[in-house]
Amino acid sequence: MDFKRIEVIFLIVFFSLDIFLFLSFRNSQQLVSSTNTNTSTITEMRKRNISFGSLDTKNGYAYYLGSQPDESLAQNVSKLRNQKVSYEDVNHSISSALSDPIEVKASNRKSVMDKFIKKESNVLFGKDYKYSPQLSSGSQIVYVATTRLGEVYDKTAQLIFSVSDGEVIGYTQTYVKSMIILHERQAIKSEKDVITSLYANSEIPNNSKISYANLAYTKLLEAKDSTIYIPVWFVTIKNKDSKVVTTKKVNAFTGNIIKSSTNGDSSYNAQ
């Protein structure tokens, strides 16, 4: 018997077995690491010319918050000077027309208005609001309410200045005096989770820019005379071709995309 030939055959057999074993071993390794799909989504997005800054991967915590109707604006309306003010009971809001319109330029409007709202005779509770470039536009300068638990992006707690021909002519204001925590803190989606899920749901077109991604509280529903707020990610996407700007809202607890109904209010089904 040719022993040498057997040796060679054995060598070939074992060699192919080694290759097979090595491949299956590598396969199993890949499966373990395949949980890391988010990174690949990010590279895919970059390839499709979607630009964005670095995304925060930290999962934070947030609360269900509640507020009760508040008459602070109505009670303090007499403190305002040099403006024609009307108070609306239903929305608990102030509408004001300034006697002397303020001239603003795109470059200085934040600093001018920041200074303006500090004075109590100009705007009530001005220190509780903060300029929001994300919600502002050419005709509106939007200030949002800030609480110790975070900012509120909602019609029920906003200060909106109307701009006409380079002048601020008046404002509307709603106010929330205090927010109460209704439930223990809950984990929320990270910025990265939200953006990758928006992309996966075809909400981010190719060749666009994510200009803002902010977490803020917004009204979910009204029940028992109280307003309930939940944390929502506000993601603003600018299409580089058409220059159209859209803001998507994502429920930070569930990660569900909130579709706005026709009147602009987020529907309760967003849950």
Partner 1 sequence: MKISRLIVQLLLVVAVITSVVLSFFIWTNTARYQRGRNIDVTSADSNKNEIPMNQVISPTSVIWHDESEQHLIYNSNENISLSVQKIMQDWKISSPKEVSKKDGAYYQKIIQGKNMLQLVYPTSITTNVFGYLLNNDSLKDEKGNQFNRILINLKDKKDQNIYLANDSNYAVYKAKVKNASSIPLTKLVKRANVDLKIRLDIMKHGVFIFYTEPIKLKSYSYVISGKKDSEYTTALFDSNTNGLVTSADNDVYTYNYGESKRLTSDHNTEELTFDDYTDTSVPKTQLAFLQRGYQKVTNLQNSISNLRLYNANWKDKDLVFREYVEGFPIFKKSQFGSIRIKFSRKGSSEHFLNKVLEVPVPSNQAATKLKSTNEIFKGLQRVGFSPNDVQSVEVGYQWETETDNEKVVDLKPTYYIKIDGHWRPYNEWTNESAEED
Residues of this chain that bind partner 1 (CB under 8 A)? 4, 7-8, 10-11, 14-15, 17-18, 21-22, 24-25, 28, 31-32, 34-35, 61, 63-64, 66, 68, 180-187, 189, 220-221, 223-226, 228, 230, 254-255, 271
Q: Given the DSSP bridges, would you call strands 208-223 and 186-187 parallel, antiparallel or unpaired? A: unpaired
Specify the residue, 37 or 49, whose C-beta has the smaller distance to partner 1. Answer: 37
Bridge partners of residue 129, in order along the sequence: 145
- H or E stretch at 112: helix 109-117
Specify the residue, 22 or 53, whose C-beta has the smaller distance to partner 1. Answer: 22
CA distance 86 to 104: 24
CA distance 151 to 27: 47
Q: Least CB distance from residue 22 to partner 1, whole Å? A: 6
Q: Is 149 left (phi over 0), alpha (psi -120 to 50) or beta?
A: alpha
Q: Least CB distance from residue 25 to partner 1, whole Å? A: 5
Q: Least CB distance from residue 177 to partner 1, whole Å? A: 14
CA distance 116 to 130: 12
Specify the residue, 33 or 78, whose C-beta has the smaller distance to partner 1. Answer: 33
Specify the residue, 210 or 230, whose C-beta has the smaller distance to partner 1. Answer: 230
One-letter amino acid at 221 equals: L
Specify the residue, 112 or 228, whose C-beta has the smaller distance to partner 1. Answer: 228
Contacts of 87 by beta carbon, 8 Å cutoff, 6+ apart: 73, 74, 77, 93, 94, 95
Q: Least CB distance from residue 234 to partner 1, whole Å? A: 20
Q: Least CB distance from residue 209 to partner 1, whole Å? A: 27
